[in-house]
Chains A and B, each alone.
Chain A
Amino acid sequence: MKKTLALMLALAMVFALAACGGNSAPAASEAPAEEAPAADAPAAEAPAAGEASGTFKIGGIGPMTGDAAQYGIAAMGGAQIAVDEINALGGPVQFEFQAEDDQAVADNAVNAYNTLKDWGMQIMVGAVTTGSCVAVASEAYTDRIFSLTPSASSTDVTAGKDNMFQMCFTDPNQGKAGAEYITSNFPEAKIAVIYRSDDAYSVGIRDAFADQVKDSIVYEGTFTVDTQTDFSVQVAAAQAAGADVVYLPIYYQPATVILTQAKSIGYAPTFVGVDGMDGILDQEGFDASLAEGVLVMSPFSASSTDDLTVSFVNKFQEAHGQLPNQFAADGYDCVYAIYNAIQAAGVTADMSNAEICDALVAAFTADDFSYSGLTGEGMTWSTVGEVTKLPMAFVITDGVYVKP
C-alpha cells in the first residue's frame, strides 16, 4: 500500500512536471499555409543585375495551439496578410509563406524549423516566443538562414548571432522604457512589481525595470506557471505595502486574475502592463471595466486612425474575426521589413541561403536603411539585431486603447 502510494506520488510529480512545461497539447493543427500562385514558376523571368526578384520561401514559427496560441495565430496571421498584399502587387518579388506550430515549446520549435527547412525555407519569420526563438536562432545561425522575429524579445535571442533580428523591443529596453515612463508620470509613486520568476521574458523586463527604480519599489511578488491561478497573497501584500503603481511585466492571462482579485479586495492602484498585456481585451467574456485605467506600453494600437492601421485592422478582422493585437502588427511589419531589405540589397531567390542571409544582414544594418510600419516610424536595427523605435503608452478607457 505504502509502496503503491509512493509510486503513484512519484508519478504524480512526473505528471506535474510534464504539466509545468506549459504544453499539454500535442494536437496537430494545420498551419494556415497558402500556396502562392507563382510557386512553381521559374525563380526569375528576366533578372536584371542587382535587381531583386523571384519567389522567396518564408517560413514562420509560432504557437498555433497551446497556452500561447493567441500570439502565434496573431503574428502568423499578420505575416500572411503582408505576404498576400505583396503578392497582389505583382512585382518581381513574390513570397511563399508557410507557418508551423511550435506550441511555444523549444523542442517543438526545432522540429517546426526542420520541417520548414525541408520545405525549402530561405528566410524565417519567427519564432514568436522567446524560449522557442532562442532554440531555433542557433539552428538558423548554423544554417545561415536570415531570421527576423516578430516578438521574441529576450537579448538571448540575438546574442552572438549576426543573422537574427528583432521587430519588438528587447526585454531590458522595455523595462527601461517602463521605468522612465513611470518616473516621469508618477514621480512620487511607490511601486509594486509582480512578475513570473520562471519566464525569461518576465524576468528580463523586471531586472532592467528594477535597476532603474530600485528605491521606489516597495514590494516584489513572484509566481510561476504552476501558481498563476491565485494572486490573492501578492495583491494583498502589495496593498499592505502601500503601493500605488503596480508594474506587471507579464502576459495578459495572469494579469486578468490579478486585476480581478485586486478589485475583489477593493485595491485600485494604477496597473502598468507591458506588451504581453496586449490581448487582454480580446478574451471572450472579459469585463472591460476591470482593465479600466490600465496603462499598456505597447507599440501598436488597433484603434489608431492612420490609413495603414485601418486597412490592416480591416483585413485582419475579415480573416480572423477579431481585432489584431500587437503581435499581428509585428508579424506584418516583419514581412514588409524583409521585403524592403530584399529590394534594397537586390537579392534574387535563386541565390543560396547564405548569400541571401549575408545580403539581408548587410541591408538591415546599413546606415540608410529604416522601416516605417504599423509598430513604429523610422525603425533602425543595430548590428546586434536590436530594433530602435519609440515606445507608446496607452490607457485602456471604455475597453479601447487611448493615448493619454
Chain B
Amino acid sequence: MVFFSYLFSGISLGSVYAIIALGYTMVYGIAKMLNFAHGDIIMVGGYICYCSMSYLGLPVLLSVLLSMAVCTVLGVVIEGLAYKPLRQASSLAVLITAIGVSYFLQNAAQLIWGVTPKIFTSVASFPMPGDLNSLGLSSEAVVTIASCLIIMVALTLFVNKTKMGKAMRACSEDKGAAQLMGINVNKTISLTFAIGSALAAVAGVLLCSNYNTLIPTTGSMPGIKAFTAAVFGGIGSIPGAFLGGLLLGIIESMAKAYISTQLANAIVFAVLIVVLLVKPTGLLGKAVPEKV
C-alpha cells in the first residue's frame, strides 16, 4: 500500500516535470537552443494566474487563458529582444543570454510581487474517490497528467500534420535550406516560442496548484529538473519529454522512499548519466530521429 502511495507521489511529481519538459524540448527541437528562461516564464504564468484570480476575481478558466496570453506575448518579446539578434552567434552566447533572461525575470518578479510567498489556491481541486486520495493521488496530479497527455498529442499532431508544423520540422533540420525553400525562419521560431510560452503558463498554473507556494524562484528548480527530464527522454522528442518527466519523478520518489531522502537528487542524476552513457540521445532520442 505504501509502495503505491510513493508511486503516485512520483507520478504527480513526474507529471509536473513532464509538462515543463514539453516546452523545453519543443523550443530545443526547433530553435536548437536551450531556453533556460523557460522555468521563469512558468513562474510568471503562475503569478499572472494568481493575480487574476485573487485581485481581479476572474474565474479559473479565464485566469488560465489570461496567463497563457500574457506568457505568449512575453515569450515572443523575449525571443525578439534577446535571442533574435543572436541568431548567427554561437550557441553558447545564446545560452548565456538565456541565463541572463532567467535572472532578469526572477528579479523583475521580485520587484513587482515582492518576496513574501503567495499561496496559490489550486485550480484543479475536486474530490477524488477516498481510496485514491489516501494513497496520495491528488486531483491535481490527475489533471496534470491528463493535460500533459492532451498537450503531447496536440503538439505531435500539430508538428506532423499542419503546414506550420512542416515549416517547423524544416527549420529544425536545416535553417538555411528552409529559408531557401521560402520558409520564414524567424516567424517560425517566434511561433515556436509563442507555443512554448503558452505551455509554460499552463505548466506554471499546474505546478502552483500542486505545490501551492509561489515565490519569484518557484520556476528555477523545477525548470532545471524538467530540462534533465527532457534530456533523459531524448531532447527534441515530444513523447520523450513526457516519458522522461514521469520516470524522473518516479525515480526521485522511490529513491527518497527506499534509499535516502538525502541522496535522492544524486541518484536521479546518476541514473541520467548511466542512461546517457548507454543511449547518448536519451531514451526516445533514436526512435524519433527527426527533431520534433
Among the listed A9, A15, A19, A253, which residue makes an inter-chain contact with B117, where contact means beta carbons less than 8 Å apart?
A: A253
Provide the main secondary structure of the chain A interface.
Answer: helix
Query: Known: A67-B217, A256-B212. Contact between A233 and B256, CB under 8 A?
Result: yes
B261 within 8 A of A: yes
How many residue pairs at the A-B interface have CB separations less than 8 Å?
Answer: 141
Q: Which residue of B lies closest to A68 (CB)?
A: B115
Once A256-B213, A265-B5 are accepted as A-B contacts, the answer to whether A286 and B224 lie under 8 Å apart by CB is: no
Contact between A284 and B118, CB atoms less than 8 A apart = yes
0/1 per residue, A57-85, Cβ < 8 Å to B?
00000000111011000000000000000
Q: A25-B106, A236-B2 are in contact. Are A5 and B235 (CB under 8 A)?
A: yes
Q: How far is the CA of A2 from the CA of B276 in the complex (A)?
A: 10
- CB A224 to nearest CB in B, in angstroms, measures 7
Indicate with 1 or 0, residue by residue over B118-145, a CB within 8 angstroms of chain A CB atoms.
1111000000000001111010000000
Are A283 and B134 neighbours in the complex by a CB distance under 8 Å?
no
* Contact between A232 and B253, CB atoms less than 8 A apart: yes
Chain A, interface residues (CB within 8 Å), range: 35 or more
Decide if B222 is an interface residue (CB 8 Å cutoff).
yes
Q: Return A219 CB to nearest CB of chain B, in Å.
A: 10
Known: A227-B264, A253-B213. A232 touches B12 (CB 8 A): yes
Interface residues on B, range: 35 or more
Contacts of A9 in B (CB 8 A): 231, 276
Are A264 and B215 in contact, CB atoms less than 8 angstroms apart? Answer: no
B212 touches A257 (CB 8 A): yes
| Interface residue B65 (Cβ < 8 Å from any Cβ of A) | no
Residues on A with beta carbons closer than 8 Å to the beta carbon of B119: 256, 283-287
- How far apart are the CA atoms of A230 and B217 in the complex, in Å? 15
> Within 8 Å of chain A (Cβ to Cβ): is B83?
no
Given A19-B224, A256-B213, CB of A265 within 8 Å of CB of B136: yes
The minimal Cβ–Cβ distance linking A63 to chain B, given in whole angstroms, is 9
A184 near B: Cβ within 8 Å? Answer: no
Contact with A along B18-53 (1 / 0, CB 8 A): 000000000000000010100000000000001000
A interface residues with partner B (beta carbon < 8 Å): 2, 4-5, 7-9, 11-12, 15-16, 19, 24-27, 65-67, 69-70, 197, 221-224, 226-227, 229-230, 232-234, 236-237, 240, 253, 256-257, 260, 264-266, 282-287
A-B contact pairs, 8 of them (CB 8 A): A9-B231, A16-B221, A26-B103, A70-B115, A257-B211, A257-B212, A266-B133, A285-B54
Which 10 interchain pairs have the tightest Cβ spacing?
A: A232-B9, A285-B119, A69-B115, A233-B256, A222-B261, A27-B107, A240-B2, A286-B119, A236-B5, A16-B224
